[in-house]
Amino acid sequence: MKNEINVLVTGAAGQIGYALLPRLVSGEAFGPNTTVNLKLVEVPQVVDKLQGIIMELEDCGFSSLGTVEAYSDIFEAAHNVDWALLVGSIPRGITINGKKIEERGDLLRINGGIFTDQGKAIGENAKSDAKVLVVGNPANTNALIGMTHAKNPSQTWMAMTALDANRAKAQVSIKTGKAISKIKNMIIWGNHSPTMYPDLDNAYADGEIASTVINDDSWIEEDFLEIVQQRGKAIIDARGASSAASAANGAIDTVKQASNPTEEGNCFSAGILSDGSYGVPEGLIFGYPLKTTREGKIEIIQGLELNNYAKQKLNITISELQEEKEAVKDLI
Ligand SMILES: NC(=O)c1ccc[n+]([C@@H]2O[C@H](COP(=O)([O-])OP(=O)(O)OC[C@H]3O[C@@H](n4cnc5c(N)ncnc54)[C@H](O)[C@@H]3O)[C@@H](O)[C@H]2O)c1
């Protein structure tokens, strides 16, 4: 018998949406025995464009495709949802009411406003065990706003850092010559922003500590960190548009990792509500090493060592998240 799952995607007509939707219904994300019903959400001015992607999804002929519905009202769309992928947000550089949105503070406030309603809608109308992945930037603080307004602690809110983890794994694979499938336990600590800390002292390359295999601190502390932290900008500079295929891939990876038990000795990366683990103040959405238990619960992996260098890096990204939280304090 086939299972059914209801998946909500905001920003569905955007470029990440275009790369993401076929992979949600191809059988890859939820397995071949699950029928995926899509609830696509867009702003009212754009919602009609969704008919184009709906036609394309039909034309792909995926046997996992269930119903597809287009919405501009998040409260209607959120009914009975198992997974919500919150991709839609306003990008930096857009002009709103004659003002170009360049400052992080303005971006935080505008997108924060979107996530208050999305949080309420998901808290009230989605399933009690719904999982929510925030992709739209600033992802960690948007997730904090959404989760606060959802007021539904049995739901799990995450911010996407899987793309950063995949970028870090790719660089380690290139540097060491080890297959990417052998690069494990790649943790992105902190914010999905240039302050994130990709941790090579707890990652493994073919069973050995990655930083030991690389044995080149100046490459790790300068080249590697810079490449991973600035990869988003490098792609915009080269492509003239932000990463979409790899961002969609990060979302699919997170769905798979959060839906299936995590193998021993490995973790997955996402931002989740901090509970004080690793000295991070409570009440931030913070990138942690995570595992999915056999019961489908997502937990922070405990007991990893952080050296002084790593602790310094964590303090930088903690401060940034505290500043972001302060900038939207009236929204949470
Ligand atoms: N976390 C990550 O690793 C990561 C990686 C890449 C991009 N991103 C972020 O993902 C977001 C989307 O990127 P994109 O390239 O698809 O952008 P895009 O501009 O192509 O698409 C965004 C879509 O969101 C829609 N939208 C805006 N507000 C909405 C709302 N309130 N409800 C529903 N839809 C809404 C827009 O109409 C647009 O179609 C951006 O914020 C980007 O910065 C995050």
pLDDT tens-digit readout, 224-244: 999 998 898 899 899 988 899
Q: What domain range includes position 82?
A: 3-160
Question: Of 110, 133, 160, which one is at a domain's C-terminal end?
Answer: 160
Angle among Cα 160, 165, 166 to the nearest 5 degrees reads 105
* Same structural domain, 9 and 155: yes
Q: Is the pLDDT of residue 27 over 90?
A: yes
Neighbours of 123 (CB within 10 A): 22
Tell me what pLDDT residue 93 has.
67
Pick from 78, 4, 1, 29: which is nearest to 248 by CA? 29
CA distances from 156 to 32, 122, 190, 261, 291 (A): 24, 11, 18, 16, 13
Pick from 49, 37, 42, 99: which is nearest to 74 by CA? 42
Strands 204-205 and 65-71: unpaired
Tell me what pLDDT residue 2 has.
58
Question: Ligand 1, residues 10, 16, 161: which to mutate, most atoms within 8 A of Cβ?
Answer: 16
Classify 140 as helix, strand or coil. helix
* Same structural domain, 154 and 170: no
Tell me what pLDDT residue 113 has.
84
d(CA 290, CA 267): 5
- Kind and range of the H or E run holding 132: strand 131-134
Question: Of 103, 133, 160, which one is at a domain's C-terminal end?
Answer: 160
- What's the pTM? 0.96
Question: Of 160, 189, 206, which one is at a domain's C-terminal end?
Answer: 160
Ligand 1 nearest-atom number relative to CA 159: 1
* Same structural domain, 139 and 171: no
Dist. CA 208 → ligand 1 center (Å)? 37
CATH of the domain at 212: 3.90.110.10
- The catalytic residue positions are 192
CATH of the domain at 122: 3.40.50.720
Q: Name the pLDDT band for 104 (thresholds 50, 70, 90).
A: confident
Structure-block tokens of residue 143: 């997730």
Tell me what pLDDT residue 13 has.
97
* Same structural domain, 170 and 137: no
CA distances from 84 to 9, 15, 125, 219, 319 (A): 6, 17, 12, 38, 28
* Same structural domain, 139 and 149: yes
Paired strand residues for 147: none
Q: Is the pLDDT of residue 96 over 90?
A: no
To 10 degrees, the CA torsion angle through 22, 27, 30, 32?
160
For ligand 1, atom 31, name the residue with the nearest CA.
Answer: 114
* Same structural domain, 18 and 118: yes
Dist. CA 304 → ligand 1 center (Å)? 34
d(CA 39, CA 87): 13
Ligand 1 nearest-atom number relative to CA 41: 33
Tell me what pLDDT residue 100 has.
74
* Same structural domain, 89 and 166: no
* Same structural domain, 152 and 251: no
Amino acid (one-letter) located at 39: K
* Same structural domain, 105 and 167: no
Tell me what pLDDT residue 94 has.
72
d(CA 307, CA 158): 26
- Mean pLDDT, rounded, for 20-32: 96
pLDDT tens-digit readout, 180-197: 999 999 999 999 999 999
- Mean pLDDT, rounded, for 237-255: 95
* Same structural domain, 33 and 115: yes
Tell me what pLDDT residue 241 has.
87
Count up the domains in the chain and report the number: 2
Dist. CA 16 → ligand 1 center (Å)? 7
Question: Ligand 1, residues 109, 145, 242: which to mutate, most atoms within 8 A of Cβ?
Answer: 242
Dist. CA 326 → ligand 1 center (Å)? 23
Any residues with Cβ below 6 Å from ligand 1, and which?
Answer: 10-11, 13-17, 41-43, 46, 87-91, 114, 135-137, 139, 160, 163, 192, 242-244, 247, 250
E strands, 161-284, in order = 183-184, 187-189, 197-199, 204-205, 208-209, 268-273
* Same structural domain, 144 and 206: no
Angle among Cα 37, 43, 45 to the nearest 5 degrees reads 120
Dist. CA 91 → ligand 1 center (Å)? 7
Q: Side-chain half-sphere of 314: how many Cα atoms within 13 Å?
A: 22
How would you class 264 by CB atoms within 10 Å of its CB: exposed for 0-12, middle for 13-18, buried for 19 or more?
exposed
* Same structural domain, 292 and 233: yes
Tell me what pLDDT residue 22 has.
98
- Residue, of 163 and 113, whose pLDDT is higher: 163
